[in-house]
Structure 1
Protein backbone atom coordinates (compact mmCIF):
# COMPACT_ATOMS: atom_id res chain seq x y z
CA UNK A 1 0.00 0.00 0.00
CA UNK A 2 2.78 2.43 0.94
CA UNK A 3 4.58 1.72 -2.33
CA UNK A 4 1.43 2.61 -4.30
CA UNK A 5 0.90 5.85 -2.33
CA UNK A 6 4.54 6.81 -2.91
CA UNK A 7 4.28 6.24 -6.63
CA UNK A 8 1.00 8.14 -6.94
CA UNK A 9 2.29 11.11 -4.91
CA UNK A 10 5.57 11.26 -6.81
CA UNK A 11 3.75 10.94 -10.13
CA UNK A 12 1.30 13.74 -9.27
CA UNK A 13 4.08 16.00 -7.99
CA UNK A 14 6.11 15.36 -11.14
CA UNK A 15 3.12 15.99 -13.40
CA UNK A 16 2.28 19.29 -11.67
CA UNK A 17 5.90 20.45 -11.86
CA UNK A 18 6.29 19.50 -15.54
CA UNK A 19 3.01 21.20 -16.54
CA UNK A 20 3.74 24.35 -14.51
CA UNK A 21 7.28 24.52 -15.84
CA UNK A 22 6.07 24.01 -19.41
CA UNK A 23 3.47 26.76 -19.10
CA UNK A 24 5.98 29.25 -17.67
CA UNK A 25 8.64 28.24 -20.20
CA UNK A 26 6.24 28.64 -23.13
CA UNK A 27 5.22 32.10 -21.93
CA UNK A 28 8.83 33.12 -21.35
CA UNK A 29 10.20 31.96 -24.68
CA UNK A 30 8.04 33.89 -27.01
CA UNK A 31 5.29 36.41 -27.52
CA UNK A 32 3.37 34.06 -29.84
CA UNK A 33 1.22 32.45 -27.15
CA UNK A 34 -2.53 31.97 -27.66
CA UNK A 35 -4.94 34.51 -26.17
CA UNK A 36 -6.24 32.02 -23.60
CA UNK A 37 -2.73 31.41 -22.22
CA UNK A 38 -2.38 32.49 -18.56
CA UNK A 39 0.71 34.64 -19.23
CA UNK A 40 1.31 36.74 -22.28
CA UNK A 41 5.08 37.04 -22.49
CA UNK A 42 8.47 37.21 -20.79
CA UNK A 43 7.68 40.50 -19.03
CA UNK A 44 4.42 39.23 -17.52
CA UNK A 45 4.35 38.28 -13.81
CA UNK A 46 2.86 35.08 -12.47
CA UNK A 47 0.66 36.92 -9.95
CA UNK A 48 -0.14 40.59 -10.29
CA UNK A 49 -0.25 42.85 -7.25
CA UNK A 50 -4.06 42.99 -7.43
CA UNK A 51 -4.25 39.17 -7.54
CA UNK A 52 -1.87 38.85 -4.57
CA UNK A 53 -3.88 41.29 -2.43
CA UNK A 54 -7.35 40.33 -3.60
CA UNK A 55 -8.48 38.32 -0.55
CA UNK A 56 -6.40 39.92 2.20
CA UNK A 57 -9.21 42.14 3.47
CA UNK A 58 -11.64 39.19 3.81
CA UNK A 59 -11.99 37.82 7.35
CA UNK A 60 -11.95 34.20 6.28
CA UNK A 61 -8.77 34.41 4.17
CA UNK A 62 -6.02 33.97 6.75
CA UNK A 63 -7.75 31.17 8.74
CA UNK A 64 -8.26 29.23 5.48
CA UNK A 65 -4.64 29.75 4.43
CA UNK A 66 -3.35 28.67 7.85
CA UNK A 67 -5.67 25.64 7.95
CA UNK A 68 -4.59 24.56 4.45
CA UNK A 69 -0.92 24.89 5.40
CA UNK A 70 -1.46 22.92 8.63
CA UNK A 71 -3.21 20.14 6.69
CA UNK A 72 -0.38 20.09 4.12
CA UNK A 73 2.26 19.88 6.88
CA UNK A 74 0.36 17.10 8.70
CA UNK A 75 0.00 15.10 5.49
CA UNK A 76 3.70 15.54 4.74
CA UNK A 77 4.62 14.39 8.28
CA UNK A 78 2.29 11.37 7.98
CA UNK A 79 3.91 10.46 4.69
CA UNK A 80 7.40 10.87 6.14
CA UNK A 81 6.64 8.72 9.19
CA UNK A 82 5.00 6.09 7.00
CA UNK A 83 8.34 5.67 5.19
CA UNK A 84 9.97 4.40 8.38
CA UNK A 85 7.19 2.02 9.35
CA UNK A 86 7.90 -1.51 8.28
CA UNK A 87 4.89 -3.22 6.77
CA UNK A 88 3.82 -6.51 8.27
CA UNK A 89 3.53 -9.55 6.09
CA UNK A 90 -0.10 -10.05 5.02
CA UNK A 91 0.20 -13.67 3.91
CA UNK A 92 2.62 -16.59 3.84
CA UNK A 93 2.77 -19.05 0.96
CA UNK A 94 2.46 -22.59 2.33
CA UNK A 95 3.58 -25.49 0.15
CA UNK A 96 0.58 -27.77 -0.12
CA UNK A 97 2.15 -30.49 -2.29
CA UNK A 98 -0.12 -29.93 -5.30
CA UNK A 99 2.21 -27.45 -6.96
CA UNK A 100 0.01 -24.42 -6.34
CA UNK A 101 0.42 -23.82 -2.63
CA UNK A 102 -1.96 -22.23 -0.16
CA UNK A 103 -2.01 -18.82 1.45
CA UNK A 104 -1.85 -18.49 5.22
CA UNK A 105 -2.74 -15.16 6.79
CA UNK A 106 0.30 -13.57 8.37
CA UNK A 107 -1.70 -12.41 11.41
CA UNK A 108 -2.86 -15.99 12.02
CA UNK A 109 0.71 -17.29 12.04
CA UNK A 110 1.74 -14.42 14.31
CA UNK A 111 -1.10 -15.25 16.72
CA UNK A 112 -0.05 -18.91 16.89
CA UNK A 113 3.59 -18.06 17.55
CA UNK A 114 2.53 -15.47 20.14
CA UNK A 115 0.32 -18.01 21.94
CA UNK A 116 3.10 -20.61 22.05
CA UNK A 117 5.66 -18.04 23.19
CA UNK A 118 3.42 -16.78 25.99
CA UNK A 119 2.91 -20.36 27.18
CA UNK A 120 6.63 -20.73 27.80
CA UNK A 121 7.69 -20.64 31.43
CA UNK A 122 8.98 -17.22 32.43
CA UNK A 123 7.40 -15.25 29.58
CA UNK A 124 5.03 -12.50 30.72
CA UNK A 125 4.11 -11.21 27.25
CA UNK A 126 5.10 -11.73 23.64
CA UNK A 127 4.73 -9.71 20.44
CA UNK A 128 5.46 -11.24 17.06
CA UNK A 129 5.59 -9.48 13.69
CA UNK A 130 6.29 -11.17 10.36
CA UNK A 131 8.17 -9.24 7.66
CA UNK A 132 9.81 -10.03 4.37
CA UNK A 133 8.42 -11.88 1.37
CA UNK A 134 5.56 -14.35 1.52
CA UNK A 135 7.83 -17.16 0.33
CA UNK A 136 10.63 -16.27 2.79
CA UNK A 137 9.23 -14.53 5.88
CA UNK A 138 11.28 -13.30 8.82
CA UNK A 139 10.00 -12.95 12.37
CA UNK A 140 10.59 -10.12 14.81
CA UNK A 141 9.96 -11.44 18.32
CA UNK A 142 9.75 -9.29 21.45
CA UNK A 143 9.48 -11.08 24.78
CA UNK A 144 8.84 -9.60 28.20
CA UNK A 145 10.37 -11.97 30.75
CA UNK A 146 9.28 -12.54 34.34
CA UNK A 147 11.87 -11.53 36.97
CA UNK A 148 12.78 -15.15 37.71
CA UNK A 149 13.11 -16.27 34.05
CA UNK A 150 16.36 -17.55 32.59
CA UNK A 151 16.98 -15.67 29.32
CA UNK A 152 19.14 -18.43 27.85
CA UNK A 153 16.64 -21.18 28.60
CA UNK A 154 13.72 -19.06 27.35
CA UNK A 155 15.56 -18.25 24.12
CA UNK A 156 16.45 -21.91 23.59
CA UNK A 157 12.87 -23.10 24.18
CA UNK A 158 11.44 -20.34 21.98
CA UNK A 159 13.65 -21.28 19.04
CA UNK A 160 13.23 -25.06 19.56
CA UNK A 161 9.49 -25.03 20.19
CA UNK A 162 7.44 -22.05 19.02
CA UNK A 163 9.53 -20.96 16.04
CA UNK A 164 10.31 -24.52 14.92
CA UNK A 165 6.61 -25.46 15.08
CA UNK A 166 5.70 -22.39 13.02
CA UNK A 167 8.39 -23.10 10.45
CA UNK A 168 7.42 -26.76 10.11
CA UNK A 169 3.66 -26.17 10.01
CA UNK A 170 4.03 -23.53 7.28
CA UNK A 171 6.42 -25.74 5.32
CA UNK A 172 9.16 -23.12 5.29
CA UNK A 173 12.80 -23.99 4.68
CA UNK A 174 13.83 -21.46 7.33
CA UNK A 175 12.32 -18.78 9.54
CA UNK A 176 15.04 -16.25 10.39
CA UNK A 177 14.16 -14.40 13.58
CA UNK A 178 15.24 -11.31 15.44
CA UNK A 179 14.52 -11.82 19.13
CA UNK A 180 14.53 -9.03 21.70
CA UNK A 181 14.30 -9.97 25.37
CA UNK A 182 13.34 -7.53 28.10
CA UNK A 183 12.96 -8.19 31.80
CA UNK A 184 9.83 -7.14 33.62
CA UNK A 185 10.47 -4.47 36.22
CA UNK A 186 10.17 -5.61 39.80
CA UNK A 187 10.92 -4.29 43.26
CA UNK A 188 13.35 -5.94 45.63
CA UNK A 189 11.79 -7.90 48.49
CA UNK A 190 12.14 -6.56 52.00
CA UNK A 191 13.57 -8.78 54.64
CA UNK A 192 11.78 -8.58 57.98
Structure 2
Protein backbone atom coordinates (compact mmCIF):
# COMPACT_ATOMS: atom_id res chain seq x y z
CA UNK A 1 0.00 0.00 0.00
CA UNK A 2 1.42 3.40 -0.93
CA UNK A 3 2.18 5.98 1.72
CA UNK A 4 -0.38 8.41 0.29
CA UNK A 5 -3.12 5.79 0.36
CA UNK A 6 -2.14 4.64 3.85
CA UNK A 7 -2.17 8.20 5.23
CA UNK A 8 -5.50 8.92 3.51
CA UNK A 9 -7.00 5.80 5.10
CA UNK A 10 -5.70 6.77 8.53
CA UNK A 11 -6.98 10.34 8.17
CA UNK A 12 -10.41 9.08 7.12
CA UNK A 13 -10.56 6.73 10.09
CA UNK A 14 -9.43 9.44 12.53
CA UNK A 15 -12.05 11.91 11.22
CA UNK A 16 -14.83 9.31 11.37
CA UNK A 17 -13.78 8.31 14.90
CA UNK A 18 -13.74 11.96 16.04
CA UNK A 19 -17.22 12.61 14.63
CA UNK A 20 -18.66 9.43 16.14
CA UNK A 21 -16.97 10.04 19.50
CA UNK A 22 -18.22 13.62 19.63
CA UNK A 23 -21.76 12.62 18.68
CA UNK A 24 -21.73 9.82 21.24
CA UNK A 25 -20.48 12.16 23.95
CA UNK A 26 -23.20 14.73 23.17
CA UNK A 27 -25.93 12.11 23.21
CA UNK A 28 -24.57 10.46 26.35
CA UNK A 29 -24.59 13.80 28.17
CA UNK A 30 -28.41 13.84 28.02
CA UNK A 31 -28.69 10.85 30.37
CA UNK A 32 -28.84 11.46 34.13
CA UNK A 33 -25.89 9.24 35.21
CA UNK A 34 -23.53 10.97 32.77
CA UNK A 35 -24.87 14.48 33.51
CA UNK A 36 -24.09 14.03 37.21
CA UNK A 37 -20.45 13.11 36.55
CA UNK A 38 -19.40 15.80 34.07
CA UNK A 39 -18.10 19.12 35.46
CA UNK A 40 -20.65 21.89 35.92
CA UNK A 41 -18.69 24.28 33.67
CA UNK A 42 -19.06 22.03 30.63
CA UNK A 43 -22.01 22.70 28.30
CA UNK A 44 -24.91 20.36 28.87
CA UNK A 45 -27.83 19.34 26.75
CA UNK A 46 -31.17 18.96 28.42
CA UNK A 47 -32.72 15.49 28.51
CA UNK A 48 -36.02 16.93 27.22
CA UNK A 49 -34.41 18.74 24.28
CA UNK A 50 -36.18 18.52 20.94
CA UNK A 51 -33.66 18.66 18.13
CA UNK A 52 -36.05 19.82 15.42
CA UNK A 53 -39.42 21.20 16.51
CA UNK A 54 -42.28 22.31 14.25
CA UNK A 55 -41.42 26.02 14.52
CA UNK A 56 -37.80 25.49 13.48
CA UNK A 57 -38.85 23.16 10.69
CA UNK A 58 -41.30 25.79 9.44
CA UNK A 59 -38.54 28.42 9.37
CA UNK A 60 -36.31 26.09 7.34
CA UNK A 61 -39.14 25.39 4.90
CA UNK A 62 -39.42 29.11 4.19
CA UNK A 63 -35.91 29.00 2.68
CA UNK A 64 -35.90 27.06 -0.59
CA UNK A 65 -32.11 26.75 -0.85
CA UNK A 66 -31.38 24.39 2.04
CA UNK A 67 -32.98 21.23 0.60
CA UNK A 68 -30.84 21.16 -2.59
CA UNK A 69 -27.73 22.01 -0.54
CA UNK A 70 -28.33 19.14 1.89
CA UNK A 71 -29.05 16.68 -0.92
CA UNK A 72 -25.97 17.83 -2.89
CA UNK A 73 -23.79 17.52 0.22
CA UNK A 74 -25.06 14.01 0.96
CA UNK A 75 -24.61 12.99 -2.69
CA UNK A 76 -21.05 14.36 -2.73
CA UNK A 77 -20.28 12.50 0.49
CA UNK A 78 -21.68 9.27 -0.94
CA UNK A 79 -19.66 9.65 -4.17
CA UNK A 80 -16.46 10.32 -2.19
CA UNK A 81 -17.09 7.29 0.03
CA UNK A 82 -17.73 5.05 -2.99
CA UNK A 83 -14.58 6.34 -4.71
CA UNK A 84 -12.55 5.65 -1.58
CA UNK A 85 -14.07 2.15 -1.26
CA UNK A 86 -13.32 1.33 -4.92
CA UNK A 87 -9.73 2.56 -4.53
CA UNK A 88 -9.21 0.01 -1.77
CA UNK A 89 -9.93 -2.88 -4.13
CA UNK A 90 -8.37 -1.47 -7.28
CA UNK A 91 -4.68 -1.82 -6.45
CA UNK A 92 -4.34 -5.26 -4.98
CA UNK A 93 -2.39 -8.27 -6.09
CA UNK A 94 -1.74 -8.40 -9.79
CA UNK A 95 -3.07 -11.56 -11.44
CA UNK A 96 -1.93 -11.33 -15.06
CA UNK A 97 0.48 -9.19 -16.99
CA UNK A 98 -0.51 -8.59 -20.64
CA UNK A 99 2.36 -9.01 -23.08
CA UNK A 100 2.78 -7.39 -26.50
CA UNK A 101 0.33 -9.54 -28.49
CA UNK A 102 -3.42 -9.73 -27.81
CA UNK A 103 -4.38 -12.72 -25.68
CA UNK A 104 -0.80 -13.40 -24.54
CA UNK A 105 -0.35 -12.89 -20.82
CA UNK A 106 2.22 -13.67 -18.18
CA UNK A 107 0.99 -14.98 -14.87
CA UNK A 108 2.01 -12.60 -12.09
CA UNK A 109 2.19 -15.55 -9.69
CA UNK A 110 4.69 -17.29 -11.97
CA UNK A 111 6.83 -14.16 -12.26
CA UNK A 112 6.73 -13.67 -8.47
CA UNK A 113 7.66 -17.33 -7.94
CA UNK A 114 10.66 -17.07 -10.28
CA UNK A 115 11.75 -13.84 -8.57
CA UNK A 116 11.54 -15.56 -5.18
CA UNK A 117 13.60 -18.52 -6.44
CA UNK A 118 16.26 -16.17 -7.85
CA UNK A 119 16.31 -14.16 -4.60
CA UNK A 120 16.77 -17.36 -2.55
CA UNK A 121 19.80 -18.18 -4.68
CA UNK A 122 21.54 -14.99 -3.53
CA UNK A 123 24.27 -15.76 -1.02
CA UNK A 124 23.20 -14.88 2.51
CA UNK A 125 19.44 -15.15 1.90
CA UNK A 126 17.72 -17.79 4.01
CA UNK A 127 14.17 -17.18 2.77
CA UNK A 128 12.50 -14.95 0.18
CA UNK A 129 8.87 -14.05 -0.52
CA UNK A 130 7.79 -11.95 -3.51
CA UNK A 131 4.36 -10.55 -4.40
CA UNK A 132 3.50 -8.35 -7.38
CA UNK A 133 1.14 -5.46 -6.74
CA UNK A 134 -0.24 -2.54 -8.70
CA UNK A 135 -1.62 -2.31 -12.20
CA UNK A 136 -0.28 -3.77 -15.43
CA UNK A 137 1.19 -0.41 -16.49
CA UNK A 138 2.87 0.27 -13.16
CA UNK A 139 4.15 -2.74 -11.27
CA UNK A 140 5.47 -2.94 -7.75
CA UNK A 141 7.30 -5.96 -6.41
CA UNK A 142 7.23 -6.40 -2.64
CA UNK A 143 10.24 -8.53 -1.75
CA UNK A 144 10.71 -9.79 1.81
CA UNK A 145 14.09 -11.35 2.54
CA UNK A 146 15.19 -13.21 5.66
CA UNK A 147 18.98 -13.01 5.87
CA UNK A 148 21.43 -15.32 7.55
CA UNK A 149 22.95 -13.82 10.73
CA UNK A 150 26.36 -13.30 9.11
CA UNK A 151 25.08 -11.95 5.77
CA UNK A 152 25.93 -8.44 4.59
CA UNK A 153 22.72 -6.51 3.75
CA UNK A 154 24.61 -4.22 1.37
CA UNK A 155 26.03 -7.14 -0.63
CA UNK A 156 22.65 -8.89 -0.72
CA UNK A 157 20.89 -5.75 -1.97
CA UNK A 158 23.56 -5.12 -4.60
CA UNK A 159 23.31 -8.68 -5.93
CA UNK A 160 19.49 -8.61 -5.77
CA UNK A 161 19.28 -5.33 -7.71
CA UNK A 162 21.80 -6.46 -10.32
CA UNK A 163 20.29 -9.91 -10.80
CA UNK A 164 16.72 -10.65 -9.72
CA UNK A 165 15.23 -7.17 -10.05
CA UNK A 166 17.05 -6.43 -13.32
CA UNK A 167 15.75 -9.69 -14.85
CA UNK A 168 12.20 -8.94 -13.70
CA UNK A 169 12.40 -5.43 -15.18
CA UNK A 170 13.57 -6.91 -18.48
CA UNK A 171 10.66 -9.40 -18.41
CA UNK A 172 8.12 -6.64 -17.65
CA UNK A 173 9.50 -4.14 -20.18
CA UNK A 174 8.37 -1.63 -21.39
CA UNK A 175 6.50 -1.26 -18.09
CA UNK A 176 8.18 0.22 -15.05
CA UNK A 177 8.83 -2.09 -12.10
CA UNK A 178 9.46 -0.66 -8.65
CA UNK A 179 10.94 -2.92 -6.00
CA UNK A 180 10.17 -2.56 -2.30
CA UNK A 181 12.66 -4.72 -0.38
CA UNK A 182 12.21 -5.51 3.30
CA UNK A 183 15.07 -7.16 5.12
CA UNK A 184 14.91 -9.15 8.33
CA UNK A 185 17.45 -11.43 9.84
CA UNK A 186 17.20 -14.95 11.11
CA UNK A 187 18.03 -15.04 14.83
CA UNK A 188 21.47 -16.32 15.63
CA UNK A 189 21.25 -19.35 17.87
CA UNK A 190 23.81 -19.45 20.59
CA UNK A 191 25.60 -22.79 20.92
CA UNK A 192 24.50 -24.85 23.88
CA UNK A 193 27.12 -25.86 26.35
CA UNK A 194 26.59 -29.06 28.31
What is the TM-score with the length of structure 2 in the denominator? 0.49
Q: Higher helix share goes to which structure? A: 2
What is the TM-score with the length of structure 1 in the denominator? 0.50
